[in-house]
Structures are given as structure tokens and as C-alpha cells.
Structure 1
């Protein structure tokens, strides 16, 4: 995977690679006769979009990924990296707020996001701060998931945020936590969770 990072874009870090690892695992276990529909919310450099597509293509499957980021530079970075890795034909890249551009009741197989999750003011640094409790951006994603649906949702959070509330909210929407991976880095644990719809 070749990644170029434009200025002011969140570069792939430990949380990015951990999210990509679980995404690859999910994709490898759900490739079948149908084309997978995947949404990458907060695409940044496009690393998660690339990870999903590389996994699908390497296994002879078919997929379409919608990569969304609110920052035009992130969208440009995602497009550039898709082209450089020969995967542009499998994805659409849009600049928008979270899942706003997705039509109501549009069902997808997988939603993946490594959103800003540290407690803090989103407007001070939108790349890392997810709101006062760290989960406000994630909760907006969950509201869409509850309303319009996906079969599997992959979310990454921090032990510094109220990540257990994410589990609670997802449970209220009919999702169960099936996989969790936590890795300790410096002052926090990075927690990536895979939820599967039960109803």
C-alpha cells in the first residue's frame, strides 16, 4: 500500500493500522457471491478504503466503497492514494459531513470509521477531538446506523473517551459487540470494536 499524506491531514497512525487490521478480517470473512457495499466515514488519507479494497481484490471478490470526509484535502488525498494503488475504479469519494450524503434507507454491508475520539473541542483540532466526551462525532454516526442500517459497524475509540457508551448505544440499536481489540499506547488504550446487527 502506497500512501501519500497531504498537509493538515491525519497521517496513518497506530489507530489507523489497528482499524485496518480488523476491517481486513471482517472483509475476508464476508466476501461472497455479492459485491460488498462499504462506507468509510472520515476517510483521511483513504487508508481504510484501501485496506478494504486490497483485501477484496486479492481474494477475487467485488466491492464498492464510498469514502466520505468533511475536509476537501482529505478527499483529494484519498483520491490520489486510490489512483496510486490502482483502486480508484472501486470507490467514490465525496466531501461532506459524516453520512449526510447517503440516501435514507440505503443499506450497506460495512460501515467503518476511525473518527476523532479524544475529549476536546472539535473546532480546535477536528483531526483528533471528538467533542467534550470524545464520542460526540461517533454518536452522530451511530444515529445514522440506527436509522438506516448496516450489517456490520467497525468503530475505533480511546480509553480516554466514554467508549463504553458507544457499546451501550449500539446495543440499543440492535447491534452486539462481537470483536474488540485494545492496544495500549503511551497514555491511553486504542479500542477497535466490531458490531454485528442482531435484529
Structure 2
């Protein structure tokens, strides 16, 4: 568990883009990995009976109280073993970095290493006909992410995108 009362990841452009892409999705159960204080989970609560939110930052999870059915402070979804979800949503740290100095934004050397680890949990907890939605950046090796998902038997498409000054954000939808 990590955390700082004032330093967890706040909702930003990537959060709002992801929220727009999942706003109208419906189902029984959804898992949001790296949920932060629960902005997206709060939106998902409208159309899902069970909303599980995970984050490595205790204070972010604490701030998300009331926005999810179940809050779990853990790395990715490592401690969740007994539920399968219709939808898994991930807003991972995705900026390329030689080392992880800031767990809220540093995604590894290619910007995808943390995302790949979170996707392993997502695939493990996804129902057969489930969907994974995740954020990535043009600064990261997002083609490597797409290739990885295809190797796992998923079809991918860009569900949303937003051009910023220094990067373009993408929400990727992955279906089996």
C-alpha cells in the first residue's frame, strides 16, 4: 500500500475520455483497475449492479468511498480471485520512464509494462464474452499493447481518442 493524502492521481483528460467511452455500457459486474478516487466507477455505478474499484493508493481508495460497491486497496487486481466481470476498465500509468518514480504516471521503459501487468489481471477476471477498456498514449508503445492483446485472442479497436499538445490519448476496446 502506498499513498499520500494529497498526491493521488486526480481525474484528468485520460479519466474523462475513459468515462465518455464507458458511460453507456451495461452489465452485471465491472472491475475498474487503477481507479484512483473513483470518478469512472461512479459513472459505471449507474449501469452495473456490482462495481469493484482497485487502486494501489490507500488515500485514493478512501476518497472513492461511496462511488463503488466494493473498494480494494491492492496492486492492479492481484488479490481478487473469486469473481468474473462483464467489463474491466483500466486507466494505468502509461508514460514511458526508465524507472518508476511516480506510480501514478510512470508506466515503464516503453510505457506499457505496467499496463501489460494490469491486463494479465483483467484477462484472468474477465467473463468469456467480456470487454476490456484501457487507456494508452501515443508516447507509449501502444502498438505493442495491441499486438499483445491480439496474441491473447482479442480483437481491438480504438473506442475513443483525444489529441493533446504533446500526445494523443487512446481508449482501446478489447473483445474476445
Q: TM-score, normalised by structure 2?
A: 0.89
Q: Secondary structure at the match of 1:126?
A: coil
| Structure 1, gaps ≥5 residues long | 1-5, 57-61
Within-5 A mapping of 1:131-170: 131-150=108-127, 151-170=130-149
The aligned residue for residue 8 of structure 2 is: 9
The aligned residue for residue 95 of structure 1 is: 73
Q: TM-score, normalised by structure 1?
A: 0.79
The aligned residue for residue 49 of structure 1 is: 41
Q: Are 1:174 and 2:156 counterparts?
A: no
> Which has more radius of gyration?
1
Q: Which has the higher helix share?
A: 1
Distance (Å, rounded) in 1 between the aligned partners of 2:36 and 2:119: 19
Checking the alignment, whether the CA contact within 8 Å between 1:40 and 1:68 is kept in structure 2 is: yes
Q: Secondary structure at the match of 1:127?
A: coil
**RMSD value, Cα:** 1.7
Distance (Å, rounded) in 2 between the aligned partners of 1:145 and 1:94: 15
Q: Secondary structure at the match of 2:64?
A: helix
Distance (Å, rounded) in 2 between the aligned partners of 1:148 and 1:180: 21
| Structure 2, gaps ≥5 residues long | none
Instruction: Kindly tell me the number of residue pairs found equivalent between the two proteins.
Output: 170
